Structure 1
Amino acid sequence: MNPKNGSPTIGLTLGSGAARGWAHIGILRALADKGIHPEIVCGCSMGALVGGFYAALKLDDLEEASHSLSKMGMLRMMGRLIFRGGFFDNKGIMQWLQDVLGDVKIEELPVKFGAVSVDLSTGMEIWMTSGDLVEAIMASISAPGMLMPFQKNGLLLGDGALANPVPVSLCRALGGDIVIAVDLNAERVGRYF
């Protein structure tokens, strides 16, 4: 419960979805139009990217970038082509995130935030709820085979979708009484599996 007014704390969980993840921007806009402003946002993969920008109050910057990004621009941002651990290194994306978000700590964000990644050595789910925002986003979006694993504290971290593609559990653990979950892959699972 929100200690200020006694109302339930609203959390939002933004799931993985690759390019479909840009839809999370529209979800956040639609919720705002209805007067719903989540106090907690958790994400996985693209959900962590969009959720991190929302929590940092920089969603407009991300939306503008999404409209202006061409296929070639995206490839340039991805970084150098490599074939060891992933098709691309993660330096280009990390630099862009640093340029836009700056050096901000998750615990300093105006909206509570958490991102999910996975320890690629053990398969264990990793919750990132403090520390560097850009590092948390990078760890969560580092899809094996596409981007190099993200190295932090001796761990090789990869896309959280491998462990928890729609991290409702994290949002609840951070205090969400009511959790709105956005699963961009639900139809795909029903159709193909």
Structure 2
Amino acid sequence: MGFLDFLFRRGPRQGVVLALGGGGARGLAHLGVLEVIEEAGIPVAGIAGTSAGAVVGAMWLTLGNTREVLKRWKEFLASDFPSHLPEVRLTEEVSSRDNLLLSFAQRLQQGAQVALALHRRGLVEHEDLERAVAFLVPEARIESLPQPFAAVVTDFATGKAVALTRGNLRQAVAASSAVPGVVPPYGLDGRYVLDGGVVAEVPVEEARALVPRPVVAVDVGDLPDPDEDPRRITVPRVLMRANVMTHARLRQVLVASADLVIRPEVWGMHWSEFRRLSEAVEAGRKAARSCLNRLRALALRRA
């Protein structure tokens, strides 16, 4: 009997539901949180994830423990993934051993794709994202997972969050990770959807609807740098800072109804810095350990 099977046999009368937020590479901190939860023997009654949170949550439920998830991430980061993706040309600064996400993130930072983007639906094709997801997430049906799971997406037409709780797991995770302007919206069940982080960066409401247990939100979103030099203000910097402020305020509203909020100190880490895996995971561990007693108490609370 595996570790997750052991926890899940306790049923929904105990445990917590995790709301894993989006944040690109900062989402790797979720692994540190999950590792501490494993070590403490705290049952997980369900997981709702947005973007990076959906990726990590899906990996954990299918691979069985954080050790296997970390192993898969390290294999991904060490692979020659971009060499099989001819549509993404590598710059001189990116070696053939860097993964697709790192490669493309650097191109975005340098502005190499701006002109092209004005005439395309996205800078990364669905197939590219789906190959990355297939490398990380085993094939499965959401309804066949050991515990309830929701990959949260945004309905392109209505602007509402939608929780995908049935169907192909990889497809749901890819749709939840379709960053606006980077990956085209996905057509699912008669509607177009994209990254859930647009309106539900930390999916507390969706987690609460998944299982009637206390909700633990893990917020890995960015915060404005208080030490940024105002003398270096440029139009892009102002726009980026305003966007960070908006999302930070939205997350405050979203997590207000959570029973516990865990905030790993990954602020300032760029969403593309996946090579900082160890640093992000350690930040998650530290944050989870600091509230371990509260986690244990919530897991035992009566529904």
If the length of structure 1 is used for normalisation, what is the TM-score? 0.84
What letter corresponds to residue 75 of structure 1 in structure 2? L
| Distance verdict in 2 for CA 1:6–1:122, change over 3 Å | closer
Measure how far apart 1:36 and its partner are.
1.4
| Aligned match for 2:159, one of 118, 123, 129 | 123
Q: 1:74 aligns with which of 78, 99, 102?
A: 99
- Which residue of the other structure, out of 103, 114, 124, is the alignment partner of 1:88? 124
Identity between Structure 1 and Structure 2 (%): 29
Instruction: Figure out how many residues of one structure are paired with residues of the other and give that number.
Output: 190
| Cα distance change, pair 3–176 in 1 and its aligned pair in 2 (3 A) | farther
Q: Larger strand proportion, structure 1 or 2?
A: 1
| Aligned residues: CA RMSD | 2.9
CA deviations over 1:64-101 (Å, ceiling 9, x no partner): 2322415653227989x873122111213313433554
Q: Tell me how far apart the structure 1 counterparts of residues 225 and 67 of structure 2 sit (CA, whole Å).
A: 33
Quote the Cα distance in structure 2 between the aligned partners of 1:110 and 1:118.
Answer: 25
Match of 2:216 among 161, 174, 180: 180
Where structure 2 has 5 or more consecutive residues not aligned to the other structure, the ranges are 1-7, 79-93, 105-112, 227-240, 246-303
**Match of residue 64, structure 1, among 63, 71, 93:** 71
Change (3 A) 1:175 1:74: same
Deviations 1:163-187 (A, max 9, x none): 11111111111114111110112x6
1:98-146 superposed Cα distances (whole Å, 9 cap, x missing partner): 3554441101001210111001222121110111111110110000112
Report how far residue 150 of structure 1 moved.
1.8
Aligned equivalent of 1:166: 202
**Alpha carbons of structure 1 residues 16 and 101: separation in structure 2 relative to 1, 3 Å:** closer
How far apart in 2 are the matches of 1:64 and 1:38?
A: 21
* 1:171–1:102 distance in 2 versus 1, CA, 3 Å: same
Counterpart in 2 of 1:104? 140
Q: 1:152 aligns with which of 179, 182, 188?
A: 188
